[in-house]
Each structure stands twice: as C-alpha cells, then as structure tokens.
Amino acid sequence: MKTLSALIADGLDGAQVRIGTGELGRASALLERSLPVTESDDADTVVTILTNDEASLGVLLSCVVGQVRLVSLPLPGRGQSLTAYLSLVQTALTQNESNCVLARSDIAAALRSGGVNAHDSKDAGGTRRGGRGFELVQYTSGTTGAARAICLTDEALGYNVTRLLETLQPTRGDSAVSWLPLSHDMGLIGMVLTTIAAAGSAWGNQSSLTLLSPEDFLRRPAVWMEAIAQFEATFTAGPDFGYRRAAQHPTAIDLSRLRVAIVGGEIVRADTLATFAATFGEARFDTRAFCPAYGLAEVGLCATITPPNERFRTRSYAVGPRAVDLVSSGPQLRGYEIVVAGRNEEGPIEILTKPKLDCASIAEDGERSLVVTGDRGFLEDGWLYVLGRTDDIAVVNGRKLYLPAILQGVGEHLLVRAGRCVAFDLPTGELVIAAELRSSDPDCSDGRRELVSSIRRKIIAVAGVAPDVICIVPPSTLPLTASGKLRTRACREVFLSGEWEGFCTAS
C-alpha cells in the first residue's frame, strides 16, 4: 500500500489545477514555485492556515512530497472571538515546537497585530527536505466543541485515500470542482489530495481540479453548480447545507456529466437530496451520483461511502409521534469495520481500522486501531445510518428527541436563512430553538411573531413537544465554522451567556 506522499508524487504530472475560473496548470508547477519554508536548520515542521489559493497549494504539495510535517490550523469561525483564536494559534505553535505560522497575507497581518509571528504563504521558500517523513496534524474546526489536534501518518493517509479511490473508480479525464476550504479535511484530503492521487499510474493518469473559494460559494451559491457545468465536472463534494443552499439558487446549466456528488461532513437529510434532485432535474442531474458518506478526521477522511451508481438508501426513524427518513452513509470501505453496540440496534459508533493510528481518542485492538467516534447510529444490511453526535439525542418532557430531525421544515421558512437553525437542550432539560433571519429588512423583522408560531407548530407536529424557548436572531449571528457549519455547542454557550436575551420568546 503506497503512502500518501508516494501517491501524490505519482500523480503530480497527470493532475492539473485551476484556481477560480482561470487557466489549468500542472500541479507539479505549483511544487516547483513553492517549496517548504523552515525557520532553522533543524526544523522539519510547517505550521500553516491553508486557504484556497495557489500559495497554500504550493506549501501543501511541497510538504507532502518533501516529507515535511504539516500542521494545518482552522480558519477563525464566525462568532469566535479574536482572543480565543489567537490563543488557539499560539497553543498550536507551542505544541508543535514552531515559532512561525504561514498564512494568506491578510490573515498573516491580522495575526501579527495580535502578537503572533506570521509570514505570508507567498514568501515560503527553500529546498530543504524533511527528516522525519510526512505527517499531517489537523486542528478540528470546532463544530461540536473546542478545536483539537488530530495526527495522521503518511501511511494512514495513503491507506484511506487508496481505499476511497477503490470505491470511486476514477478514470482518465475525470474533472473535480470544489469550494470546500483546505483548512477542513473534506476539502484538503477529499478533493485536493484525492484528485491529485487519482491522476497517478494506478488510476486515471490524468485528472483536473477547479478550486473555488468558500467565500465565493457563501456569497453566491450558484457559482458551485455553474462551475461544474462550465468545466464538465464528474466529481464534487459538499456538506448537506451546501447542496441545500445550491438548490435555493437554481441556474440554467447541464449537470449530466456529474457522476459522483459526495455528501458528508454533517447529517445528510433526505429532504435536501430530494429538493436538490427536483431543482436540477431539468439540468439532467442523475440522483445515482449522490454518494452520502461518513468519516472523521481521526481516520483521514471517510470510513463509509455509498458507491457511485448505487442509489442512496433511506430508512424510517421514529422521533416522537412522527417518523423521518434517515439517509444511509453507505457501507464501510475495505479495511475499515464499523461497530455499533448491539449490532442491529442503535448505539455508539466505533471504527476498527487496519492502519495503526495515533490519536488521543484511539485505542489499540490487536493489530488494528479502535476509533471511538462520539457519534450514534445503527447498521442495516451492512449500511450505516448516522443519528449524529451523542448530544444530538435529548430527553425533553420524557420524550427522546433526535434534535437534527425536529428542525426539518424550520429552515425552509421564507423568513429564515437556509439551514440557519439549531436545536439544543439545556442542563435543566429545556429545549431551545435558535433561527437566523434571512435579512435585516423591516418586513422580515415584522414577521417575527408569525415565525415563532410557525416554528412552534412544526416542532410539535414532528416531536410531540413544544420548544421551551425560541430565539429569532438577526442575520449573521449564529456561530459558524470557517466552512459554514453551525457550531452547536457555541450556540448553547452564547444563549446561556444571555447575549440573545432580547431575541428570545418563551414558547
């Protein structure tokens, strides 16, 4: 089994990369223009904040091929204080025995103003190779809590990417489009590194990647599907909320060549996939392209995925007086075993993986590593159904509630920004719903009372209980990760601080 660095070295000449909508250029040229920077003669670690630009790609590729240890820090999330973010960066530098972070010029300037030694990624230079071998340290985005470090070896990454490619079966001439941030494993490993590896001798021998920016997508979601159509892409990936937002911004395009549309990174909703398919039916989108997947940073990228050309599966799941359709994340990749306590029953999800892994949440199990995911779900006919994090299950007034499901329909209200609603319980057993207004227009704010009533009715219909508090907050209020995912724990903390008191209504 090849290491990741070997896979990337093999695929460099066959892979071409386009930044934005510019010209295609060989990935090997990025390597030639940017080699890893080191702060001293014996340093072999590069700490960086990767963004979707040429300089970051150059730093990434040179570290992989040059056998330099790469530490990837997350971008600051919306609602995260500058003090907290600077503390994370300084902690990471100390933990990794480094005295400098590489970042895009504007980010580097902001870090320097906060007392962090930061350099522009464009200034990275030098030809030195690392002595310890390639290793990737990722700091998680903090969706469910504080960011933490995940360490992945060259061997473990190569194993995961190889097993993923075995399922996806890339062919010569495949083309990928991505807006996912490189500071997140789905964008970094799933789209960039996997696309380059797919251009190697064992696979297609040729592939291309068009890399958009997360800011472009969040500002104008239609740019994603437009780029897929323009460049006749066959591969793409995104979280559930990305497909949901894209469906709300339809455009006259042709998606007939798209054969793999990976959906992961968060709970996959059946109504999102149905809405997207209906919206882009005239664009000749084939629903067999949907490949719901499940994974986590500890294993590299993914452990299960729905194979291309197999229709994704759904399963009815009771939440209160009604049932919702859960989407399966597919069968396990070869070399990985999904274990759910009680087997065909609902329980905590664990992953047994052949390559030995080195993370705090991982234990040895003979010749394999055991990953305790912190998620819950169940297996049916070998396909995994993920319910979410352990704290996505709450008991309110004696009823077991599956929190992601009770929000179905709330985020589609005309006054709510798409997908910007969150549910969480309090230590007192109360249920809180927070929803973000679509805009700051007076007409939108004036509909607050009707919106509260509508949310209350929808949740009673789905869950059989009424929320105790409903918060209708202004636009751009709910805390997000850099990739645009809601930070549930941060939402709970802000609510408990009293910051939203003026926007909340007792139900």
Q: What is the pLDDT of residues 316-349, one digit of tens each?
A: 987 666 677 899 999 999 999 999 975 567 888 9
**Residue 142: pLDDT above 70?**
no
CATH 3.40.50.12780 domain span(s) along the chain = 1-217
pLDDT at 42 over 60: no
Average pLDDT on 393-421 reads: 76
- Burial of 462-485, coded b for 16+ CB within 10 Å and e otherwise, reads bbbbbbbbbbbbeeebbbbbbbbb
CB 210 within 8 A of CB 231: yes
Per CATH, the homologous superfamily of domain 1-217 is: ANL, N-terminal domain (3.40.50.12780)
Total residue length of the chain: 507
- CATH 3.30.300.30 maps onto the chain at 407-506
Q: Which residue has the higher pLDDT, 488 or 378?
A: 378
Q: Is the pLDDT of residue 136 over 60?
A: yes
Query: pLDDT confidence of 127, banded at 50, 70, 90?
Result: very low
Cα separation, 86 vs 4, in Å, equals: 31
Distance CA 242, CA 238 (A): 6
pLDDT above 70: percentage of residues in the chain: 88
**Could you tell me the pLDDT band of residue 443, with boundaries at 50, 70 and 90?**
low
**One-character DSSP codes across 432-459:** EEEEEES---HHHHHTHHHHHHHHHHHH
State how far the Cα of 86 lies from the Cα of 71, in Å rounded to an integer: 16
**Can you give the pLDDT at residue 43?**
56
Beta strand ranges found along 273-313 (DSSP E): 290-294, 304-305
Taking 90 as the threshold, does the pLDDT of residue 399 lie above it?
A: no
Domain covering 407-506 in this structure, CATH number: 3.30.300.30
pLDDT at 163: 95
For 191, residues 6+ apart whose C-beta sits below 8 A from its C-beta are 176, 178, 180, 209, 211, 235, 236, 237
Which residues 6+ apart lie within 8 Å of 83 measured at CB? none
Tens digit of each residue's pLDDT (9 = 90 or more) over 275-323 = 999 999 999 999 999 999 999 888 889 999 999 989 999 999 876 666 7
